[in-house]
Amino acid sequence: MLKGQEITVLGGGIGGLAAAAALAMRGAKVTVLEQAPAIREVGAGLQISPNGVAVLDAMGLGATARARSVASKAVVLKDGVSGRDVIRLDFEKLKPGREFLMFHRADLIDILAEAARAQGVTIETGAKVTRVDVGQNSTLVEIEGQPTREAHFVVGAEGLHSLMYRALNVPRDPVFTGQVAWRALVPAEGDEAAEATIWMGPGRHMVSYPLRGGQILNIVAVQERSGWVAEGWNHDDDPANLRKAFAMYAPEARALLERVETVNLWGLFRHPVAEQWHKGNSVILGDAAHPTLPFMAQGAVMALEDAWVLAECLSVSGIEEGPALYQARRRHRVINVVEAANRNASNYHYASPALKFVGHNALRLAGRFASARVLGRFDWVYEHDVTRA
């Protein structure tokens, strides 16, 4: 049903490029409008869980994705202050075949952009959309320095500050979580295991994992704070502030932070999931529809799932009926994932030594007797395969 259908995608991030490629695979004639002068990504890591890997596989990108990422073998929770292991969840032992791929974001963007181009997608860079006017059968798209275009079908994938979101919904009212986060990349020493480590601590935690064949390490560090920093994740900070916030951590963790040369800091906000994902011949996906806290590592994965389901719904039900079916298939699942991330927000923190004792011992016990159950709590997220639904 999509053969020759013209579709304009606003935003060339993970969601926009995945949607462009998936729609073009089904015959659509797709143009991506990206504001940046080139398709590139900031330096940061991204974990793609099995439900996201399923989408990459279905798009025929599995082999490239595996070659350009590190497959995580386990997640290890440590007491950040003592450096002692609290629980180790071994993916290979517990769930054979379950793959968590750890990417440099730039590599995943590159893979998706290549896939889109190979399907004939036109990617226009330096095309900043300044206004959208959604009608019943077409949408007017204003682009900085260019004549206004009339688009037949528009996918809003412009992330957190989406114009298309605002054309479809009342403005968002984000709530500061009382947490800020730093992210940084540091050179690896070469002997780091292919696993994610979560360093839990009082009112703070830190996550680290290797990227690019183990040459670099990705660090995300979260601290509870009453004051907040502006939203958006490209605000530079002094690495000394990060080191100071984790000064009570074990030498192994501090040694990682000593290697940080540049760091970004941002405030973490909760956002409601969009009520309305479609209107006329326009839809939204990814962060445009549902920005999430990073505590389930599902933002990009949900964007991949959206992209696949959107392409399938439009292809099976057409551009009139498909958008409503797309929202019906996605919204409930996304709400559950966003709420799980909200609940996870302070799971790795403890307010007092007594709470730490109780919490860590409960985790150790769970790890010894019921590791599968600990990991299985999230089967509903990781084992869901939108490409088979």
Cβ 33 to ligand FAD shortest distance, Å: 5
> Quick one: which segment of 31-39, 187-195, 318-326, 328-336 binds ligand FAD (CB under 6 A)?
31-39
DSSP string, 140-209: EEEETTS--EEESSEEE--GGG-HHHHHHSPPP--EEEEEEEEEEEEE--S---SEEEEEEETTEEEEEE
93 vs 161, which CB is nearer to ligand FAD? Answer: 161
Cβ 187 to ligand FAD shortest distance, Å: 19
DSSP string, 66-108: HHTSEEE-EEEEEETTT--EEEEEEHHHHSTT--EEEEEHHHH
Q: Which residues sit opposite 31 in a β-bridge?
A: 8, 122
**Helix boundaries (H) for the chain:** 14-25, 50-58, 62-67, 91-94, 105-118, 163-168, 239-245, 251-258, 299-344, 353-376, 379-382
129 vs 180, which CB is nearer to ligand FAD? Answer: 129
Note whether 53 binds ligand FAD by CB under 6 A: no
Helix (H, G, I), strand (E, B) or coil at 132: strand
d(Cα 351, Cα 109) in Å, to the nearest integer?
39
228 vs 233, which CB is nearer to ligand FAD? Answer: 233
Q: Which residues sit opposite 282 in a β-bridge?
A: 154, 279
Cβ 32 to ligand FAD shortest distance, Å: 9
Helix (H, G, I), strand (E, B) or coil at 280: coil
Note whether 19 binds ligand FAD by CB under 6 A: no
> Quick one: which segment of 9-17, 78-86, 332-340, 351-359 binds ligand FAD (CB under 6 A)?
9-17
Among candidate residues 47, 45, 46, the one with its CA nearest the CA of residue 99:
47
Note whether 13 binds ligand FAD by CB under 6 A: yes
Cβ 10 to ligand FAD shortest distance, Å: 5
> Site residues for ligand FAD, window 147-176 (CB under 6 A)?
157-159, 163
16 vs 80, which CB is nearer to ligand FAD? Answer: 16
25 vs 207, which CB is nearer to ligand FAD? Answer: 207
Among 26, 73, 128, 243, binds ligand FAD (CB under 6 A): 128
Among 28, 33, 112, 121, binds ligand FAD (CB under 6 A): 33
Among 12, 50, 156, 239, binds ligand FAD (CB under 6 A): 12
Q: How far is C-alpha 255 from the chain's CA centre?
A: 27
Cβ 136 to ligand FAD shortest distance, Å: 23
Among 5, 7, 11, 267, binds ligand FAD (CB under 6 A): 11
Total of residues contacting ligand FAD (CB under 6 A): 33
d(Cα 95, Cα 334) in Å, to the nearest integer?
24
> Site residues for ligand FAD, window 86-125 (CB under 6 A)?
none
Measured CA distances, 369 to 41, 45, 198, 347, 372 (Å):
42, 32, 20, 20, 9
Cβ 264 to ligand FAD shortest distance, Å: 8
Q: Is 179 exposed, middle or buried (0-12, 13-18, 19+ CB in 10 A)?
A: buried
One symbol per residue from 216 to 235: x for binding ligand FAD (CB under 6 A), - otherwise; what is it? ----x------------x--
Among 36, 71, 81, 366, binds ligand FAD (CB under 6 A): 36
> Site residues for ligand FAD, window 283-312 (CB under 6 A)?
286-288, 294, 297-301, 303
Cβ pair 93, 375 in contact under 8 A: no
**Which helix (H) or strand (E) segment is 10 a member of?**
strand 6-10
> Quick one: which segment of 34-42, 90-98, 273-281, 371-379 binds ligand FAD (CB under 6 A)?
34-42
d(Cα 173, Cα 296) in Å, to the nearest integer?
22
Among candidate residues 256, 303, 270, 260, the one with its CA nearest the CA of residue 284:
303
Among 10, 20, 310, 375, binds ligand FAD (CB under 6 A): 10
Residues lying near ligand FAD in the complex (CB under 6 A) are found at 10-16, 33-36, 44, 46-47, 128-129, 157-159, 163, 183, 220, 233, 286-288, 294, 297-301, 303
